[in-house]
A and B are shown apart, each in its own frame.
Chain A
Amino acid sequence: DAGVTQSPTHLIKTRGQQVTLRCSPKSGHDTVSWYQQALGQGPQFIFQYYEEEERQRGNFPDRFSGHQFPNYSSELNVNALLLGDSALYLCASSLKEAGNTIYFGEGSWLTVV
């Protein structure tokens, strides 16, 4: 039973560029949430996808967008990267009917230079 998988694990981008991060949820899960974790901080909620639609959104600018595919996998896109976007990006999956438990992937480490 595969857990939550994310790719890439590490990447370096230049300020102003765009990045796409990918996530496959745990088998049987239908809901994907994305979190940003800056150094020394707790994860901050970006948004949640269910049934291919953005259902909830945290306090992040429109430069952060996402998508969920029919197989429940998801992408996080960040445009016009800023140095402050450097962080660990975590994908969490859950089952909508049992939404009280979320499981994280290992994350994607993004460095913006």
Chain B
Amino acid sequence: RKEVEQDPGPFNVPEGATVAFNCTYSNSASQSFFWYRQDCRKEPKLLMSVYSSGNEDGRFTAQLNRASQYISLLIRDSKLSDSATYLCVVADSNTGNQFYFGTGTSLTVIP
């Protein structure tokens, strides 16, 4: 079983739409959670950390459900510039903060 599982998509949404990505992780000892964004043929870049209480950064909202081992990312009012692959990432400090990445979810925002 993979450490982190994501729906690969693709998600094709119109500008202004709200879109949600989900992710599950298998290691209940995981302690740190992130969403990374990766543009085509570029390196992943940190989008936001995910906290137990949920957190928001502008149009982006991340949620964590430790009981269900489930992480989500909500993007409101989608922009063309949001088109990218979104990677769900889990880290466990017990393994020296080794990061486990999902396969990524592809988003295309259509004019």
- A interface residue numbers (CB < 8 A to B): 33, 35, 40-45, 48, 55-56, 58, 90, 92, 94, 99-107
Question: Is B99's CB under 8 angstroms from A104's CB?
Answer: no
Name, among A43, A45, A102, the residue most crowded by chain B CB atoms within 10 Å (CB to CB): A43
Partner among A40, A42, A48 whose Cβ is within 8 Å of the Cβ of B98:
A48
Distance in angstroms between the alpha carbons of A99 and B34 in the assembled complex: 13
Q: Do A104 and B103 touch (CB < 8 A)?
A: no
Contacts of A107 in B (CB 8 A): 43
Does residue B66 face the partner (Cβ distance < 8 Å to A)?
no
Q: How far is the CB of B96 from chain A (nearest CB, A)?
A: 4
The 5 tightest CB contacts between A and B, nearest first, are: A42-B101, A99-B97, A104-B43, A56-B96, A42-B103
Chain A residues with CB under 8 Å of B103's CB are 40-42
Are B96 and A90 in contact, with the CB atoms below 8 A? no
CA distance A42 to B42 in the complex (A): 13
Q: A33 touching B43 by the CB < 8 A rule?
A: no
Stretch from B52-60, B69-77, B87-95 forming part of the interface with A: B87-95
In the complex, what residues of A have CB within 8 A of residue B45's CB? Answer: 104
CB pair A90–B32 under 8 Å, yes or no, is: no
Number of B residues contacting the other chain (C-beta, 8 Å)?
A: 22
B100 within 8 A of A: yes
Contact call A58/B98, Cβ cutoff below 8 A: yes
Let me know if B20 is at the binding interface, CB within 8 A: no
B101 touches A43 (CB 8 A): yes
CA distance A92 to B87 in the complex (A): 15
Cα-based distance from A99 to B44 in the complex (angstroms): 17
Interface contact B96-A55, CB-CB below 8 Å: yes
CB of A104 within 8 A of CB of B91, answer no
Are B43 and A45 closer than 8 Å at their CB atoms? no
Q: Which of B8, B43, B93 contacts A90 (CB 8 A)?
A: B43
Q: Is B4 an interface residue (CB 8 A)?
A: yes
Known: A56-B96, A56-B98, A58-B98. Is A105-B46 also a contact (CB below 8 A)? no
* A45, B46: Cβ atoms closer than 8 Å: no
The residues of B that contact A103 with a CB separation of less than 8 Å are 46
Chain A residue contacts of B43, Cβ below 8 A: 90, 104-107
